[in-house]
Amino acid sequence: MRADPADEMFLIKIFIRLITFLALLALIIPLYFFGKTWWSAREFAKEYDLTQVAFDVASHTADVIVVLGAAQFDGRPGPVLKARLKTARDGYLKNLAPAVMTVGDGAPGDRTTEAQSGKRWLVTEGIPKSRIIAITQGRDTYSSTLAYSAAMKGLDLESALIVTDPYHCLRATTMAKDQGIKAQCLPTAYGLANIDNSTLRYLTREAGAYLAYVVLGRRGIMISEDTIDGLIPSW
């Protein structure tokens, strides 16, 4: 028995509508996460602009400033890490927190870690050694978050100002909050990692990583923070 042409046409229309819906969904979801990452970066950069004359320190304080790691070269912070450390220094000197945590392991063959490299740099900038805690673990945002959040809980610290690049803020603070940390972001204010100079490629990478984190059950994806340096030109 031949199928009714009207039934066939109805099924074809349903199929086309389903494909169209799925195609739109595949477009809308990434655009939403792209826009959310972009918007969050600008909101954090605006709220935590330490150069503002009217910046209200009292309403932006935290228990600790956390500096997420990036590449270091034999104890010397790379451009991305140095920009983050400068921002953390400014935040500490502005009395946004009484202590700083530097976070990050070393790459295979390294003689030191990102955390130790960052701590040494901050000491040279006048921050007391006793006020800096080096967490020498973490090769990506997720493992770094697990490491510093565990350290914070061990020290009865509840809130953190996470220093990282603006487009990384949303993913970094989301992961921290998922670990029970009251997190805000103090975006990098220096160099080509700041809000005015970060690239579209970096934004796209961060939006995709945030989408993957949410979709894959908030368990993190292993993206080495070393790749950040490849997305931001040296200066």
Superfamily in which the 43-231 domain is placed by CATH? HUPs (3.40.50.620)
The confidence band for 235, taking pLDDT boundaries of 50, 70 and 90, is: very low
Domain spans in the chain, listed from the N-terminal domain onward? 43-231
Q: Which of 173, 179, 178 is nearest to 154 (CA)?
A: 179
Q: How far apart are CA 107 and CA 72, in angstroms?
A: 9
Q: What is the pLDDT of residue 185?
A: 97
Q: What is the pLDDT of residue 233?
A: 38
Q: How far apart are CA 40 and CA 54, in angstroms?
A: 21
pLDDT digits (tens, 9 = 90+) for 116-156: 999 999 999 999 999 999 999 998 999 999 999 999 999 99
The confidence band for 106, taking pLDDT boundaries of 50, 70 and 90, is: confident
Residue 11 has pLDDT above 50, yes or no: yes
Kindly report the CA angle at 160 between 157 and 165, in degrees rounded to 5? 155
pLDDT digits (tens, 9 = 90+) for 52-97: 988 999 999 999 999 999 988 888 999 999 999 999 999 999 999 9
**pTM for this entry:** 0.84
Q: How far apart are CA 163 and CA 187, in angstroms?
A: 6
Q: Which of 90, 89, 70, 91 is nearest to 81 (CA)?
A: 70
The confidence band for 110, taking pLDDT boundaries of 50, 70 and 90, is: confident
The mean pLDDT value of the chain amounts to 86
Q: How far apart are CA 165 and CA 90, in angstroms?
A: 15
In the chain, the N- to C-terminal Cα span, in Å, equals 74
Residue 208 has pLDDT above 80, yes or no: yes
Neighbours of 87 (CB within 10 A): 26
Q: How far apart are CA 225 and CA 235, in angstroms?
A: 18
Taking the CA atoms of 119, 166, 105 and 152 in sequence, report the sign of the dihedral they define.
positive
- The residue count for the chain: 235
Residue 228 has pLDDT above 60, yes or no: no
